[in-house]
Amino acid sequence: MRVENALIARVCHDLITPLNAIGLGMEAYDATKDEALLNCVRESVNKANAILKFMRELYSLKSSTFCYSRSSLQQLVANFLEKYSILFELQSDFENIPSIAGKIIMYNAILAHEILHTGGMFTIKIDDDSREIVATYSGKSVAVPDLNECTELNHKNIMRFSLLRMLDDAGFKIATYQEGYRVIIRERMV
């Protein structure tokens, strides 16, 4: 029950800011009819919508045979991360990405939101020959996540634990290292 509560609290936290901005913006717009305020409200609506779409997909149940199209997965993750000033690029030769790989990419996107506090670039490269997914996080400020230790029960550790569990269930092993302002996580099938 604590896990569900922590995840629900995190989703609500991410939605409170854009929803409050929408409410306050509409009140101010009613009083002033200022078009700039209306544009801010639209931006907040788009942010809340991107967060909801991403979270719905992240927590939805998919069959093991389901595949995401590369372009739809790219768009879903890019729209979510764009709201946090993070650019996203999915590099893959495949048009269809298996559901387990899609979920792994989405959990890595949640980590990108935590690692790149001031924005940056998040790249996922899928290499079928080596059976490896390489996640690279680049920005002015990056923090290497401790993916091996989940002590305190909070949303960050739940996401890390969920990612590790998915990787383990799918037969992946993980290695993390940092090069200056880049964090690289290699997830390889064994």
Looking at residue 180, which CATH number applies to its domain? 3.30.565.10
What is the reported pLDDT for 27? 66
Distance CA 67, CA 84 (A): 27
The answer on 152 and 84 residing in a single domain is: yes
Could you tell me the CATH number of the domain that includes residue 52? 1.10.287.130
Give the pLDDT confidence of 156-180 residue by residue, as tens digits.
566 666 777 777 777 777 777 677 7
Distance CA 65, CA 98 (A): 7
CA distances from 108 to 80, 136, 161 (A): 12, 10, 12
Beta strands in 33-101 (DSSP E): 67-69, 86-91, 96-98
The 3-state secondary structure of 43-54, one letter per residue: HHHHHHHHHHHH
| Confidence class for position 1, pLDDT limits 50, 70, 90 | very low
Distance CA 95, CA 102 (A): 12
Residue 127 CA to chain centroid, in angstroms? 20
The answer on 77 and 8 residing in a single domain is: no
Length of the chain, in residues: 190
Nearest-CA neighbor of 104 among 78, 70, 133, 79? 133
Give the pLDDT confidence of 102-154 residue by residue, as tens digits.
888 988 888 888 778 788 999 999 887 777 888 888 888 766 555 555 556 55
Neighbours of 43 (CB within 10 A): 15
Q: How many domains does the chain have?
A: 2
151 vs 41 pLDDT, higher one: 41
10 vs 184 pLDDT, higher one: 184
The answer on 106 and 15 residing in a single domain is: no
The answer on 81 and 22 residing in a single domain is: no
Instruction: Give one DSSP letter per residue of 167-181, joined into a string.
Output: HHHTTEEEEEEEETT
**Inter-axis angle of helices 35-59 and 70-82, to 10 degrees?**
130
Give the pLDDT confidence of 53-88 residue by residue, as tens digits.
888 888 777 787 899 999 999 999 999 999 889 999
Strands 96-98 and 67-69: antiparallel
Domain end among 42, 60, 78 = 60
Residue 187 has pLDDT above 50, yes or no: yes
Domain holding 98, by residue range, is 64-190
